Structure 1
Amino acid sequence: MSARILDLPDPDAAAAFARRLATQLGAGDAVLLSGELGAGKTTLARAAIEALTGETNIPSPTYTLIQSYETRSGIPLAHADLYRVEDPDELDELGLEESWREGIALIEWPDRLVEYPGRRIEIELEFTPGGRRAVLRGFGGWETRLDDI
Structure 2
Amino acid sequence: MPLTVALPDPEATERLAARLAPRARAGDAILLEGPLGAGKSAFARAFLRALAGDPALEVPSPSFTLVQSYELPGGLEAHHFDLYRLDGPTDLTELGWEEARRGLVLVEWPDRLGPLAPEGALHLRLAHADREEARIATLDGWPGRLHGLAG
TM-score normalised to the size of structure 1?
0.91
CA RMSD of aligned residues (A): 1.2
1:120 paired with 2:121, answer yes
- Percentage identity across paired residues of the two chains: 45
Match of 1:68, SS state, is strand
1:135 paired with 2:134, answer no
Check whether the contact 1:28–1:103 (CA below 8 A) recurs between aligned residues. Answer: yes
Q: Deviations 1:43-76 (Å, cap 9, x if unpaired)?
A: 0000011111225211100000000001111111
1:3 aligns with: 2
Amino acid at match of 2:31: L
Give, in whole Å, the separation in 2 of the partners of 1:23 and 1:110. 22
1:33 aligns with: 32
Give, in whole Å, the separation in 2 of the partners of 1:73 and 1:148. 24
Q: Which has the higher strand share?
A: 1
Q: CA deviation at 1:93?
A: 1.1
Q: For the structure 1 residues 148 and 105, does the alpha-carbon distance in structure 2 shift closer, same or farther, using more than 3 Å as the test?
A: farther
Q: CA deviation at 1:97?
A: 3.1
1:1-149 correspondence to structure 2 within 5 Å: 2-53=1-52, 54=54, 56-100=57-101, 102-114=102-114, 115-130=116-131, 131-138=134-141, 142-149=142-149
Check whether the contact 1:33–1:125 (CA below 8 A) recurs between aligned residues. Answer: yes
Give, in whole Å, the separation in 2 of the partners of 1:85 and 1:4. 29
Amino acid at match of 1:108: E
Amino acid at match of 2:26: A
Which 5+ residue runs of structure 2 have no aligned equivalent?
A: none
Corresponding pairs, count: 144
Which 5+ residue runs of structure 1 have no aligned equivalent?
A: none
Amino acid at match of 2:90: D
Q: CA deviation at 1:148?
A: 4.3
Give, in whole Å, the separation in 2 of the partners of 1:87 and 1:137. 23
Amino acid at match of 1:111: D
Give, in whole Å, the separation in 2 of the partners of 1:38 and 1:91. 24
Amino acid at match of 1:85: L
Match of 1:144, SS state, is coil
Q: CA deviation at 1:89?
A: 1.4
Check whether the contact 1:28–1:119 (CA below 8 A) recurs between aligned residues. Answer: no
